[in-house]
Amino acid sequence: MTSTYSEDIGTLPEDAERATKGERTRKRLLEIAIARFGDRGYRATSVSEIARAAGLTQAAAYAYFNSKEALFDAAVDADADAAITEAVAQGAGIPPNELVPMLLIFFIGNLETHPLVKRVLGGHEPDALKRLINLPALAHLTDTIAARVREGQSTGQVRSDLDAEAFSNGAETIILSLMLSIVQVGSSTEARRQMGVLSIFDAVLRPPQNGSSPLRGATAEQASQP
């Protein structure tokens, strides 16, 4: 599978034609940065080579991103947002109680087309990992999960006492942790593990059958009490 990003300027999407020149230039820089950083890494890639590939001077590139670190962070965020958008689209018709594990499966399946995300998750950019753990793109993921949970609550598919925001934050943490583990250690194809993850989320989200309901939105302080 090849990367979603190409350095051939003819591959820009049609909506880029409606963008301003500055927006198109910024997008072009990010596409090249994703491809170069994803292939060679942060240290081995220079802003000047990215700028040249985009037909710009290095000074012009710094007008869009004021440092190499800022360009790298923006490139990771753009690649992550594209990966999330792709997975969310694939999961559009999936029941809410199955969404999170299926998103994980989609992320893993699409990872080869998102080289920079794969590189970071693989631990090849340790200096940047702590900085990038709270990417703006992750808000897209948590917002989507929370919206699907609320949708499921409105149709009776998801328990009504569940705090959608708290659940989405927890689900994001689990997805990130599993992605880091799978990319660095290797994925398991054992059916029992796949079904185990699915069962956990199904148990958390499914409305109780006996009328019982746990406390809504317990705080961290309450959760820590014996």
pLDDT in single tens digits along all 226 residues of the chain = 445 555 543 444 445 455 688 899 999 999 999 999 999 999 999 999 999 999 999 999 999 999 999 999 999 999 999 999 999 999 998 998 889 989 988 999 999 999 999 999 999 998 887 777 788 999 999 999 999 999 999 999 999 999 999 999 999 999 998 888 888 887 654 566 667 777 888 888 888 775 544 434 443 344 344 4
Residue 48 within any structural domain of the chain: yes
State the Cα–Cα distance between residues 207 and 159, nearest whole angstrom. Answer: 4
Instruction: Count Cα atoms within 13 angstroms, Cβ side, for 223.
Output: 6
Residue 34 within any structural domain of the chain: yes
Contacts of 31 (CB under 8 A, 6+ apart): 5, 6, 7, 12
Residue 1 within any structural domain of the chain: no
Residue 61 within any structural domain of the chain: yes
Residue 104 within any structural domain of the chain: yes
Based on the structure, what is the number of domains in the chain?
1
Residue 217 within any structural domain of the chain: no
Determine the structural domain holding residue 59 and report its residue range.
9-208
State the Cα–Cα distance between residues 199 and 202, nearest whole angstrom. Answer: 5
Residue 214 within any structural domain of the chain: no
CB 91 within 8 A of CB 103: yes
CATH at residue 62? 1.10.357.10
State the Cα–Cα distance between residues 214 and 226, nearest whole angstrom. Answer: 16
Residue 4 within any structural domain of the chain: no
Closest CA to 157 of 202, 192, 120, 107: 202
Q: Considering the entire predicted model, what is its pTM?
A: 0.79
